[in-house]
Structure formats: structure tokens, C-alpha cells
Amino acid sequence: MKNRKQFIVHSLQKMRRVLLPAVNCQLSTVNSQKGFTLLLAALVSSIVLALGTSIFQLAQKELTLSSIGRDSQFAFYAADSGAECALYWDVRYQRFPTSTPVAVGLTCDNQDETTAASSAGGAVVSSFQFEPNGYCVNVSVEKSVSVGTGAVATTVHADGFSTNCGAVESSPRALQRSVELRY
């Protein structure tokens, strides 16, 4: 029995020497894989966060560009409305003077306006301002008479803005578009 007991103890010691390094090695591998998994998770989340931030910034720039395009169209429509109104009153009713500056009344977009008239270098300049659909437009009509032929040259210049007239000077996002007619 003593031999048998010694044999078992000896066998266990031998197995311990053989198996323990392998168990320690496996435990070490599992622990290092846990660290690698944490590192991989941090790396993946950083990449996803960077991509999300980039997509958000891109979308924000696209939104800004599209709103600038929309505001530019509103400013152009306002300028076009002002030029068309001046053209209507000039061609249909000859409301703008050619020789002596005179203030005249007219209606544009159901708004009654009175022109301011001045003389500059042989030409008479009449100007007015109104707000078609809430967007500001400044219109000037310059009329000059040719000395040699007596022909009247007319220039209608309209500056349209993407804001109302009260906010043109103070708004950092106010856009201006111009239309000029010569006849």
C-alpha cells in the first residue's frame, strides 16, 4: 500500500509539472485576448465616431449651401419683380421723367410707392423701394436724352435682397441679386 501511495503521489507530482505550465499558458492567452478585444472595441468605436462626425459635417454644409441657393433665388425674384414693375410703369404710363426730376406715385405688388427723383450728369434718376412677398428690392430708373438725336435712353436697375428692407443692413446672411434693363 505504501508503494501504491508513493506511486500516486509521484504520478500527481509528475502530472502537475507537465500540466501546470500548459494551464498557466492557456490562462495567459485568455487574458491577453481579453485585452485585445477591448483594444479592438475601442478602435472600432473610434472609427464609427469619426465617420459619423464626418457625415454630420457634410450634411450640415449641404444644408447651408442649399439654403444659400434658395435665398439667392428669392433675391433674384425680388429684383426681377422690381425691374418688371418699373418697366410696366415706364412703358405703359411713361411715369418716369426725362428732363426735370419729379417725384411720382406708383403701385407695385399692391404697395403704393413714391419715387425719389434727382438729376445726375444730364440724366434724371428716379428711385423707389418696396417689398414683394416680404423681400426687399431697391429700384432706380435712369433716363437721359441724347443731345444729337433726341432719343431717350433708359436704364432700370433693381437690387433684390433675400431679407426684408429692415434687415438688409444688419443680417449677415442677406444676399443681393441685381437685374438691369436697358432700352
The pLDDT tens digits along the chain (183 residues) read: 567 667 676 666 766 666 555 545 554 555 556 678 889 999 999 999 999 999 999 999 999 999 999 999 999 999 999 999 999 999 999 999 998 999 999 999 999 999 999 998 889 999 999 999 999 999 999 999 988 898 999 999 999 999 999 999 999 999 999 999 999
Residue 134 in any domain: the answer is yes
For 30, the grid coordinates are: 485568455
Q: What is the pLDDT of residue 15?
A: 63
Q: Mapped to the 3 state alphabet, what secondary structure does the chain carry? A: CHHHHHHHHHHHHHHHHHHHHHHHHHHHHHHHHHHHHHHHHHHHHHHHHHHHHHHHHHHHHHHHHHHHHHHHHHHHHHHHHHHHHHHHHHHHHCCCCCCCCCCCEEEECCEEEECEEEEECCEEEEEEEECHHHCCEEEEEEEEECCCCCCEEEEEEEEEECCCHHHCCCCCCCCEEEEEEEC
Residue 76 in any domain: the answer is yes
Only one residue has cell 406715385, namely: 105
State which residues form the domain around 128: 48-182
| Size (the chain), residues | 183
Q: What is the pLDDT of residue 3?
A: 73
Contact (Cβ atoms closer than 8 angstroms) between residue 163 and residue 140: no
Residues forming beta bridges with residue 161, ordered by sequence position? 176
Using the Cα atoms of residue 131, residue 133, residue 137 and residue 139 in order, give the sign of their dihedral. negative
Residue 116 in any domain: the answer is yes
Number of domains in the chain: 1
> Phi and psi of 158, rounded to 5°?
-125, 125
Phi-psi region of 139 (alpha: psi -120 to 50; beta: other; left: phi over 0): beta
Alpha-carbon torsion, ordered 101, 107, 108, 113, to 10 deg: 50
Residue 97 in any domain: the answer is yes
Residue 21 in any domain: the answer is no
Residue 153 in any domain: the answer is yes
Residue 8 in any domain: the answer is no
Residue 27 in any domain: the answer is no
- Interstrand relation of 176-182 and 152-161 (parallel, antiparallel or unpaired): antiparallel
